[in-house]
Chain A
Amino acid sequence: MKTLTGAQMMCEALLAEGVDVMFGYPGGAIMPFYHALPEYPQLRHILVRHEQAAGHAAEGYARTSGKVGVCVATSGPGATNLVTAIADAMMDSVPIVAITGQVVTSLIGKDGFQETDVTGITQPITKHNYLVTDVRDLPRVFKEAFHIARTGRPGPVLIDVAKDVQNARGMFEYPESVDLPGYKPNYEGNRRQIKEAANLLNQAKKPLIMAGHGILLGHASVELREFAEKTGIPVITTLLGISCIPEDHPLSLGMPGMHGWVHVNRAIQECDVLFTIGARFDDRVTGKLDTFARNAKIIHVDIDPAEVGKNVITAVPIVGDAKRVLENLTEIVNANEHSEWLNHIREIQATRSKRQRDPESGMFTPHHVYAEFTQIMQGEFRVCTDVGQHQMWAAQLIEYMKPHTHITSGGLGTMGFALPAAMGVQVACPNEEVWAIAGDGGFQMNLQELATVVQESLPLKICIINNGYLGMVRQWQELFHERRYSATPMWSPDFIKLADAYGIPGLRVERPEDVAEAIHQARATNGPFLIEFVVEREVNVYPMVAPGASISDMFEDPNEVEIEDVVAVK
């Protein structure tokens, strides 16, 4: 056993957990940790420009690599700047460990300089959190934190370490196992319930699989595909489930919900068994709850018991790991085909969704950008989107072929997510092509990270869909608030000059015919590249379910429904 300082112990613990990179920002209360860091060259530290970005970058890293993402901040303002990213990770079940410095123990509770009760603040938005006031607790706390973050339903864990604890010395022995009697995630689904599910699926005439983030978090893409292929059951993927099955797979139908496809929402309303794995029935998916999937018996597989039965009534609840449950189910379920059912859905699709893919001629819409993108990239990319219209279009229009290629803030819907998250994705996949796609609004929420991109030589490509508005809010104002565009028109700087100031080359594209060339140029550039697409200002995302309405009532164009009807249900 060695005696080490607390700060050294923190570094040793990170190494023991297999961490090789972290995103952070120093400050007074975390200085001992930063003092120790150069002794551990295996630990790469990426200096961001704002702690929120450190959190999102850790998320992007975790969401692609399947490993735990790590972010570091000082006490007080550093820690509070992490809060949004922590909440984001909580909503999307992303495994990150956030390490914050805290004022010295003797000042805790005395309103010391830069003291905030960050464990108190983050209690409802972390899976668990710790305040460490004794150096002897450090090894155990780190061991537990990483274990809790990555097992069961993954999530963010925060460790707040008092500054004097980082400076104190103690014996270091990293525990081999954790002893948490109150935390024993259940991976193995109940046999009887799995059998019941198989029976239900065998008898189903119009079954449907709804695959969520749990498939990606549980690395169960292969198992999902095998199960779907054996049973012939079509698969729909929630916003966070996108990319868990190749989108050109004959059984893959696309996204349900508020901006999902008509044929997908129809399939939900018509199916007799809805087999949901690793999705939590978010209101953006279900619409008006009591009309959702009303002809279906629901089978719900989730690793978190509290998710089962939370929003919908379940015929067969299965608490377990997506991968294992799917394996077990595939073994016992009958091989089948549902060609009639599938054809029926495909027919609806053929008649309904054309308009989205063929925007009116003469206008430069984001649809052109996404169509070219998919065409040129041939599935070889990872995309991080921000929040808003461009996010929904990226979900609808780009085709994703490989797991973890679509990274987005689904649960919290955090603007400013795309650029820092893409940094984390690029760090996780240094040799792949990573694209950050943002609106003019969201991009300006964390654009300071351009500096990090340059300092770290991250070759990521940035795409701004500039419509001169906070587009998604403007769309709601148009549809539900009498077109009163209150606080949504948005002035932006010259993004190309801005990129230039950071040393990043860029191009502005204002016509559909220039899209392909710009994308080619970005790809050919060795290093980061920024493209600003100046698109039609008032294009809406369709199809759409009005907030609070039933997913049976989709509209593809405001002219299809009386706007008053829509307003009435909101």
Chain B
Amino acid sequence: MFAMKHTLVALLRDQPGVLNRSVSLFRRRGFNIESLTVGHTETPGISRMTLVVDGDTTSVEQVIKQLYKLIDVLKVSDVSQDPNVTRDLLLVKVYAPPAKRSELMQLADIFGAKIVDVVPDAMMIELSGSPEQLDRFVDLIRPFGIRELVRTGCVAMTRGASTVSGPYQNQEFRAA
């Protein structure tokens, strides 16, 4: 029952208020959300939400059950235990006078990051990867002087041919 990070994937009907409903559910039930992203899926009318929550197994099960109670939530899966690809996207603007530039470019290269904007004393770098990778990159460039940083939060997909999409099973039950 120790606390750990869980990655949940939820499929939602695109109805007005559905995002608000989900988010306010977390607030009301006191669940701690680390990141939340929403976007379209292969099926028109259905959005996909990726949530990273911090909690023990029981409270994560509660999050899932409570989410299922929302009429417009079609499916929720905890993919933390499955082999999966989790990606976060980072844009960072770093202080980069000409003397520091090549060093920064080298670092970016090692991480597979892209330089997307350069001005005389700053540089914008784009990097996507696992959250841990991004953390490490940020640690490395911090000494250069970060002026602005933004991350999207995680999206996740399980490896292999199986998918989390349909058949939708609203009241999927997990023994407590």
Binding site for B on A (CB under 8 A): 119-120, 123-124, 127-128, 131, 148, 180-186, 190, 304-306, 308-310, 313-314, 317, 319
Contact = CB atoms under 8 A, between A and B. Distances in A.
Given A120-B20, A131-B16, A182 B176 contact: no
B151 interface: no
B168 A182 contact: yes
Contacts of A313: 176
B99 interface: no
Given A182-B70, A183-B71, A305 B21 contact: no
18 contacts: A120-B17, A123-B24, A124-B28, A131-B16, A131-B17, A148-B71, A182-B72, A182-B73, A182-B74, A184-B170, A306-B66, A306-B68, A309-B58, A309-B61, A314-B176, A317-B173, A317-B176, A319-B171
B65 interface: yes
A120 B21 CA distance: 9
Given A120-B20, A306-B66, A317-B176, A186 B71 contact: no
A313 B61 CA distance: 13
B62 interface: yes
Nearest to A307: B65
A124 B26 CA distance: 11
A388 B25 CA distance: 30
Nearest to B63: A306
A350 B55 CA distance: 47
Contacts of A182: 13, 70-74, 168, 170
A308 B62 CA distance: 9
B40 interface: no
B24 A124 contact: yes
Interface in B53-100: 58, 61-62, 65-66, 68-74
A537 B99 CA distance: 86
Contacts of B171: 184-186, 305, 319
Contacts of A124: 24-25, 28
Closest 8 CB pairs of A and B: A309-B176, A306-B65, A186-B171, A182-B74, A184-B170, A128-B71, A183-B71, A181-B168
Interface of B: 13, 16-17, 20-21, 24-25, 28, 58, 61-62, 65-66, 68-74, 168-171, 173, 175-176
A46 to B, nearest CB: 29
Given A182-B74, A306-B62, A306-B68, A119 B17 contact: yes
A92 B58 CA distance: 24
Contacts of B74: 181-182
A524 B176 CA distance: 55
Contacts, number: 65
Nearest to B13: A182
Nearest to B170: A184
A305 B171 CA distance: 7
In this complex, which of A131, A186, A305 has the most chain B Cβ atoms within 10 angstroms of its Cβ? Answer: A305
Contacts of A128: 70-71
A286 B80 CA distance: 34
A183 B75 CA distance: 10
B59 to A, nearest CB: 10
A381 B67 CA distance: 41
Nearest to A306: B65
Contacts of A120: 17, 20
B69 A123 contact: no
Contact of B170 (A119, A123, A131, A183): A183
In this complex, which of A120, A124, A182, A317 has the most chain B Cβ atoms within 10 angstroms of its Cβ? Answer: A182
A123 B73 contact: no
Contacts of A190: 173
Nearest to A124: B28
Contacts of A310: 62, 65
A178 to B, nearest CB: 10
Contacts of A304: 69
Given A305-B171, A309-B58, 7 more contacts: A123-B17, A124-B25, A304-B69, A305-B65, A306-B62, A306-B66, A310-B62
A190 B65 CA distance: 17
A183 B172 CA distance: 11
Contacts of B66: 306
A120 B23 CA distance: 12
A317 B72 CA distance: 25
Nearest to B172: A305
B71 A317 contact: no
Contacts of A131: 16-17
A120 B19 CA distance: 12
A306 B70 CA distance: 11
A121 to B, nearest CB: 11
Contact of B173 (A119, A148, A186): A186
B168 to A, nearest CB: 5
Nearest to B74: A182
Nearest to A119: B17
A105 to B, nearest CB: 13
A319 B173 contact: yes
Contacts of B176: 308-309, 313-314, 317
In this complex, which of B17, B28, B168, B169 has the most chain A Cβ atoms within 10 angstroms of its Cβ? Answer: B17
A127 B66 CA distance: 11
A118 B169 CA distance: 30
Contacts of B72: 182
B173 A305 contact: yes
Nearest to B16: A131
A156 to B, nearest CB: 13
Nearest to B12: A182
B22 to A, nearest CB: 10
B176 to A, nearest CB: 2
In this complex, which of B65, B66, B74, B168 has the most chain A Cβ atoms within 10 angstroms of its Cβ? Answer: B65
A318 to B, nearest CB: 9
